[in-house]
Amino acid sequence: MSPQPKSSGDKSPFNWRSLFASFRPRREGTMPAGMILVVIVLAFCVAGLLDADSTLRKSNAKGDGIRNEIAKTVASVTDALHINFFRNSIDDALGKNQGTEIDVEELLRQQAEAETAAAAEAAKKVPELTAPTPAEPMKIWVGGDSITQTFGTSFQRITQSTGIFTPTLDYHVSTGLSRPDYFNWPEHLVKNVLPANPAILVIMFGANDGQNMVDANNKVLERYSEPWMTEYRRRVAATMDLLKSPDNQRITIWCGPPPMGPGTKTHGMDQLNYIYWSEAQTRPWIQYFDTWPFFSDSNGVFAANLPNADGVVRGMRQKDNVHLSTVGGDRLSWAVIDRIGKLVNLSAGNVTPPPTQGPPPSVVERTEIPPNMPGAE
Amino acid sequence: MPRRIERAAVVSAVALLAEIVAVDVLSSSHPGNPSMLFPTIDFAVFFLVVFTGSWLLRPHKIAWRWFILAASCVFYGWWDWNYLMLLFLSIGINWFLGLAVFRTLTPEGGRTNASRWLVRIAVVVNLGILGYFKYFDFFVSTITEKMHSIGISVDAPILNIVLPIGISFFTFQAISYVIDIGRGQWRKPLTLLDFAVYLSFFAHLVAGPIVRASEFAPQLDEEPDPRYVRSAESFMLIFRGMFKKVVISSFLATQIVDPVFANPNAYGPLAVLMAIYAYAIQIYADFSGYTDIAIGIALLLGIRFPQNFDSPYIALTLQDFWNRWHMTLSRWLRDYLYIPLGGNRGSKAMMYRNLFLVMIIGGLWHGANWTFVVWGAIHGSYLVAERIVREKWKGHELGLPPLLVKAMQWFLVFNVVCLAWVFFRATSVDEAFTLLGRLFASHGSTAGVSMLLLVVIAASIASQFVPTRFPQKAEVWFATWAPALQIAALAAGLVMVDALGPEGIAPFIYFQF
């Protein structure tokens, strides 16, 4: 016998069987507040169980303490009961969160084993690349997170206009080195970028990396804590090592992120810059490029509007005070090309920036990056 | 001449606002970073507590008010506790001015010189606070640049002011309250507690709808029956809002809008056109999605907000568009700006001037940038042109099938709205023109243009033509489902939204205004 339908005017105590009977509200479209509470709580619980893996990923990235512990517990329960099948099937169908197929440490070990003594010796010097010409242009790859979207598009257009480069742009929004579960940059570089054999890579990360990380032991590391810094440094170093070419014929221009403006939650960029810069010091094939002075005032503080070489002040950033404007992308592109010109002979191409696009000559990279700059952002 | 002083007050405030922004040449909105966005677990937990507490305390009117006020403070303070002080300041000043205005009215509710001056002060103070947070830095930096350009070195302070979320919304609500009292429309000012609950109520605090005290306050004294909560409508509104915001808006933003607007020179005509249409859908999905959630949440607490969107992209005239888009802002501008400026009274030229001016001010409300002025100017010009054409062509027939005429009208209005959105979205007027120029480029990337994108844009536009009776019938039907089935449907919906959305959720576009 089916349970009697419960109407909205019924004041009888709550009965679990009423959850399964069709509902006959006395007033169309209504439900008692108590039943609504039950519906909402149970819907959240069911959704929480079905979505446990996704919640854990997000919690690992930004959560802390008790919330992360709860997320872990729920995820382990759903994993054991295979309740996460529903959500994971959707993810599979959408091609999301596919995980990684490579072991960076193993790859580096193989790389080290295969490296000859001569190659190891050669790698102690900055690679000497053949000067590009219009007849034999240089393959150059630019990639990174969403900041690279504007910068990279400018860079692609400008390098193309020089006549001596064949550029490739490859940015992925919301990515970095903190969340390989979301996008695995080392894997992408090894599988998709390096096989094309670009002579120069221009790479920028960091803006999305200020979030918690999970280390190899599945331990959540609070962002910018000492263990976090250690783990991040390890990832940076490993990525840099992956970019070394066996014949020392590849240079990577590793661009640190610029300062972020007020009203954004992206901060600590110069702490990351210190890691990039210091790791690059021992790797001649990695050339750290300091974007900071190109997007800050004379005090090293974020500036949305800055003069280019022609003295005209222009907006360098988008409204969010994070991403570069087209003008900012152009400015950085010419600065990076100038830096490449110090490593490779670019005289065969048109690499002189128009004053309307290039930075003033007075703006130069810092000679060294301080370990941190409190109050700089 | 009872309206003369009030009109002067509004005009002087508008002039002040215009003066502040007249020298602005660069964009400077500082988007806030609300931590407790609606589609988050944090908010879900917060709401469950508030929902339970609210219905338990509803019979105890004073306790309920304090509870809601506390909840709203937590909600706003979650973003930045410091700005709670600003909210309290706005509450205190406007409540006091409202009371002072009321006491200076005649016993019959008529205006006096004192009441008019107090209304003027209230408008100027509110716009002053708004102007400081929204326009100060750019006012200073623009003046500094101008001085530099004529050889005078000025070391003016740039304060890097962060725009408190929702300030434009609660400021407009506060202004409407004081002006309504000054007009004698409120015969009994709210108590400080009621006014605080009204201005800070978390569901409309950060991005509207702009609810008037006359709509909100009477509901404070009502005691809604907890047995008859409009659950189906609320659930539908909340789910629809989440889908629009998390799935549609985020997809369009990352797929084509952000890349193309960030670097239009890289893209060809097809991608640029799709980006423009996609932005029209994105901003609608984002803003109306937020409003849907806000209305649904308030409804679950027994509070009914006014409708804010009514399928705006089906409009056949721009006037009709404004009757359907951000309806609470439209009527605010009508009642507190257009009518005091003279409205339809007076000559046609004055009416056109009023229309145009209101749209310019509406543009400036969104931020200190010439892009918003151009956006307002496009709407204002078209509204004026529409009226002129309508009058000139009155009684004339084109001789075309009515359906075709309607289709042409729709196409024209939709594209004018999209054209205006280009300026709304662009960082600068130059960038907007660059993007529009790419519509005529002979080459360029088509990256981002996909069948899925076209389907999403087309389906989003088509969905606006669905008669409202269909979703209403669906709501009634949903309400008859067994609660267990409702639970399953809601849970599946939440998982789908999460799976289809991106990792992380960008703040709502309208939080920054």
Structure tokens at B431: 């960038």
- B202 with B311, same domain? no
Active-site option among B30, B366, B379, B396: B366
**B29 and chain A in contact, CB less than 8 A:** yes
Inspect the interface and report whether the beta carbons of B499 and A18 lie closer than 8 Å.
Answer: no
- Residue B405 domain-assigned? yes
* Residue A352, pLDDT score: 92
- Say which of A23, A33, A55 has its CB closest to residue B481: A23
- Residue ending a domain, among B200, B221, B242, is B221
Structure tokens at A260: 């972020």
Whether residue A325 is predicted with pLDDT greater than 90 in this model: the reply is no
* Residue B150, pLDDT score: 67
Q: A85 with A49: CB under 8 angstroms?
A: no
Q: Is B12 exposed, middle or buried (0-12, 13-18, 19+ CB in 10 A)?
A: middle
- Residue ending a domain, among B168, B193, B221, is B221
Q: What's domain A104-341's superfamily in CATH?
A: SGNH hydrolase (3.40.50.1110)
* Neighbour count for residue B451 (Cβ, 10 Å): 7
Tell me: ipTM over 0.90: no
* Residue B375, pLDDT score: 93
- Say which of A26, A28, A39 has its CB closest to residue B476: A28
Which residues are CB-neighbours of B240 under 8 A, at least 6 positions away?
B289, B292
Give the span between the Cα atoms of A143 and A159, in whole angstroms: 14
Give the span between the Cα atoms of B119 and B8, in whole angstroms: 11
- B142 with B253, same domain? no
Give the span between the Cα atoms of B326 and B208, in whole angstroms: 9
Give the span between the Cα atoms of B147 and B56, in whole angstroms: 61
State the amino acid at position A157 in one-letter form: R
Residue (of B249, B228, B241) closest to B294 by Cα position? B241
Q: Is B465 exposed, middle or buried (0-12, 13-18, 19+ CB in 10 A)?
A: exposed
* Residue B267, pLDDT score: 85
For chain A, the structural domain boundaries read: 16-94, 104-341
For residue B49, the SS3 value is helix
How close is the nearest chain B Cα to the Cα of A263, in Å? 5
Residue (of B209, B218, B215) closest to B237 by Cα position? B209
- Enclosing H/E stretch for B320: helix B318-324
- Residue B513 domain-assigned? no
- Enclosing H/E stretch for A203: strand A200-204
Inspect the interface and report whether the beta carbons of B32 and A96 lie closer than 8 Å.
Answer: no
Inspect the interface and report whether the beta carbons of B480 and A261 lie closer than 8 Å.
Answer: no
- Say which of B263, B480, B483 has its CB closest to residue A19: B483
Exposure of A153 in the CB half-sphere (CA atoms within 13 A): 24
Q: B359 with B376: CB under 8 angstroms?
A: yes
C-alpha B464: how far from chain center = 19
| DSSP one-letter code for A189 | I
- Residue B439 domain-assigned? yes
**A305 and chain B in contact, CB less than 8 A:** yes
- Domain count of the fold of chain B: 2
* Residue A28, pLDDT score: 80
Q: A268 with A207: CB under 8 angstroms?
A: no
- Residue B374 domain-assigned? yes
State yes or no: cis peptide before B259, omega within 30 of 0: no
How would you classify the pairing of strands A305-307 and A313-315?
Answer: antiparallel
- B202 with B263, same domain? no
| Residue whose structure tokens are 């703040």 | B507
* Residue B106, pLDDT score: 85
- Residue B381 domain-assigned? yes
Residue (of B423, B81, B374) closest to B276 by Cα position? B423
Per CB-CB distance under 8 Å, the chain A contacts of B486 are 39, 43
Give the span between the Cα atoms of B471 and B486, in whole angstroms: 16
Per CB-CB distance under 8 Å, the chain B contacts of A182 are 503
For residue A116, the SS3 value is coil
- B207 with B78, same domain? yes
For residue A3, the SS3 value is coil
- B357 with B216, same domain? no
Structure tokens at B65: 């008010």
Average pLDDT of the segment spanning A347-352: 92
- B214 with B274, same domain? no
Q: Is A93 exposed, middle or buried (0-12, 13-18, 19+ CB in 10 A)?
A: exposed
Residue (of B284, B279, B272) closest to B309 by Cα position? B284
**A246 and chain B in contact, CB less than 8 A:** no
* Residue A358, pLDDT score: 93
- Residue B440 domain-assigned? yes
Inspect the interface and report whether the beta carbons of A51 and B495 lie closer than 8 Å.
Answer: yes
Q: B507 with B34: CB under 8 angstroms?
A: yes
| Residue whose structure tokens are 């700006």 | B337
Residues 83 through 122 of chain B touching chain A, CB cutoff 8 Å: none
- B357 with B453, same domain? yes
Whether residue A365 is predicted with pLDDT greater than 80 in this model: the reply is yes
**A312 and chain B in contact, CB less than 8 A:** no
* Neighbour count for residue A163 (Cβ, 10 Å): 15
Computed on alpha carbons and rounded to an integer, the radius of gyration of chain B in Å comes to: 24
- Enclosing H/E stretch for A287: strand A286-289
Taking phi over 0 as left and psi of -120 to 50 as alpha, with beta for the rest, A99 belongs to left
Structure tokens at A178: 């903190």
Burial A280-318 (b: 16+ CB within 10 A, else e): beebbbbbbbbbbbbbbeeebebbbbbbbbeeebbbbbb
Burial A148-158 (b: 16+ CB within 10 A, else e): bbbbbbbbbbb
Q: Is B440 exposed, middle or buried (0-12, 13-18, 19+ CB in 10 A)?
A: exposed
Condensed to tens digits (0 to 9), the pLDDT of residues A218-231 reads: 777 888 888 889 98
**A87 and chain B in contact, CB less than 8 A:** yes
Give the span between the Cα atoms of B329 and B7, in whole angstroms: 19
Cβ pairs bridging A and B (under 8 Å) = 189
Inspect the interface and report whether the beta carbons of B48 and A41 lie closer than 8 Å.
Answer: yes
State the amino acid at position A356 in one-letter form: T
Give the span between the Cα atoms of A284 and B82, in whole angstroms: 47
Per CB-CB distance under 8 Å, the chain A contacts of B491 are 42-44, 46-47, 50
- Residue B179 domain-assigned? yes
Give the span between the Cα atoms of B318 and B313, in whole angstroms: 10
Structure tokens at B468: 């409202």
Residue of chain A minimizing CA distance to B494: A47
Per CB-CB distance under 8 Å, the chain A contacts of B262 are 149-150, 153, 318, 323, 325-326
Tell me the longest C-alpha to C-alpha distance in chain A: 90
- B352 with B485, same domain? yes
Per CB-CB distance under 8 Å, the chain B contacts of A21 are 482
| Residue whose structure tokens are 């992209």 | B313
- Enclosing H/E stretch for B94: helix B84-104
- B309 with B252, same domain? yes
**A311 and chain B in contact, CB less than 8 A:** no
The CA–CA distances, whole Å, from A169 to A198, A370, B424 equal 12, 31, 28
Percent of the residues in chain A that have a pLDDT greater than 70, as a whole number: 90
- Say which of A23, A149, A329 has its CB closest to residue B479: A23
* Neighbour count for residue A115 (Cβ, 10 Å): 14
Per CB-CB distance under 8 Å, the chain A contacts of B370 are none
Residues 129 through 148 of chain A touching chain B, CB cutoff 8 Å: 146
Q: Is B134 exposed, middle or buried (0-12, 13-18, 19+ CB in 10 A)?
A: buried
- Say which of A87, A146, A304 has its CB closest to residue B499: A87
* Neighbour count for residue B158 (Cβ, 10 Å): 17
- Say which of A33, A58, A182 has its CB closest to residue B55: A33
How close is the nearest chain B Cα to the Cα of A224, in Å? 19
Per CB-CB distance under 8 Å, the chain B contacts of A37 are 48, 51-52, 55
**A36 and chain B in contact, CB less than 8 A:** yes
Whether residue A61 is predicted with pLDDT greater than 70 in this model: the reply is no
State the amino acid at position A276 in one-letter form: Y
- Residue B110 domain-assigned? yes
HEC profile of B145-194: HHHHHCCCCCCCCCCCCCCCCCHHHHHHHHHHHHHHHHCCCCCCCCCHHH
What is the pLDDT tens value at each position of chain B, 513 positions in all?
Answer: 344 434 443 333 333 323 222 222 222 222 334 456 776 778 888 999 999 999 999 888 899 999 999 999 988 888 777 778 888 999 999 999 999 998 888 888 788 888 889 988 988 988 888 888 777 766 666 666 666 666 666 555 555 555 677 788 888 899 999 998 888 877 778 899 999 999 999 888 777 788 888 888 888 888 888 888 888 899 999 999 999 988 999 889 888 888 788 778 778 899 999 999 999 999 999 889 989 999 999 999 999 999 899 999 999 999 999 999 989 988 988 888 888 888 788 888 888 898 898 899 888 878 777 888 999 999 999 999 999 988 888 777 777 888 898 899 999 999 999 999 999 998 788 889 989 999 998 887 787 788 999 999 999 999 999 988 888 888 888 888 888 888 999 999 988 888 887 764 443 443 344
Residues 238 through 257 of chain B touching chain A, CB cutoff 8 Å: 254
- Say which of B33, B41, B227 has its CB closest to residue A264: B33
**A26-40, A69-83, B144-158, B395-409, range with the lowest pLDDT:** B144-158
Give the span between the Cα atoms of A325 and A327, in whole angstroms: 5
Give the span between the Cα atoms of A36 and A8, in whole angstroms: 11
Exposure of A34 in the CB half-sphere (CA atoms within 13 A): 15
Give the span between the Cα atoms of B215 and B220, in whole angstroms: 10
| DSSP one-letter code for A295 | G
Give the span between the Cα atoms of A11 and A13, in whole angstroms: 7
Q: A202 with A142: CB under 8 angstroms?
A: yes
Average pLDDT of the segment spanning A98-123: 70
* Neighbour count for residue B40 (Cβ, 10 Å): 14
Residues 336 through 365 of chain A touching chain B, CB cutoff 8 Å: none
**A41 and chain B in contact, CB less than 8 A:** yes
Give the span between the Cα atoms of A231 and A227, in whole angstroms: 6
Q: A80 with A92: CB under 8 angstroms?
A: no
HEC profile of B417-473: HHHHHHHHHCCCHHHHHHHHHHHHCCCCECCCCCHHHHHHHHHHHHHCCCCCHHHHH
Inspect the interface and report whether the beta carbons of B481 and A22 lie closer than 8 Å.
Answer: yes
Active-site annotation holds for B204: no
Residues 178 through 237 of chain A touching chain B, CB cutoff 8 Å: 182
Inspect the interface and report whether the beta carbons of A325 and B229 lie closer than 8 Å.
Answer: no
Range of the structural domain that residue B97 is part of: 2-221
